[in-house]
Amino acid sequence: MSIAFIGLGANLGDPAATLQRALRDLVQIPGLRVVQCSRSYRSRAVGLASQPDYVNAVAKIDTALTPPALLDHLLAIESRHGRVRGGERWGPRTLDLDLLLYDQLQFRDARLTLPHPEICNRNFVLAPLLELAPEITIPGVGPARHVLEKLGSEGLWLLDVEAAAVDSRTVLDEE
For the annotated catalytic residues, the residue numbers are 83, 93, 96, 98
Residue 13: DSSP 8-state: S
How many angstroms separate the CA atoms of 16 and 28, rounded?
19
DSSP string, 117-149: TTGGG-HHHHHHHHHH-TT-EETTTEEHHHHHH
User: Is the separation of the CB atoms in 6 and 25 below 8 Å?
Assistant: no
Among residues 122, 112, 110, the alpha carbon closest in space to that of 152 is found at: 122
Residue 99: count of CB within 10 angstroms of its CB:
22
Backbone angles phi, psi at 142, to 5 degrees: 130, -165
Residue 13: count of CB within 10 angstroms of its CB:
15
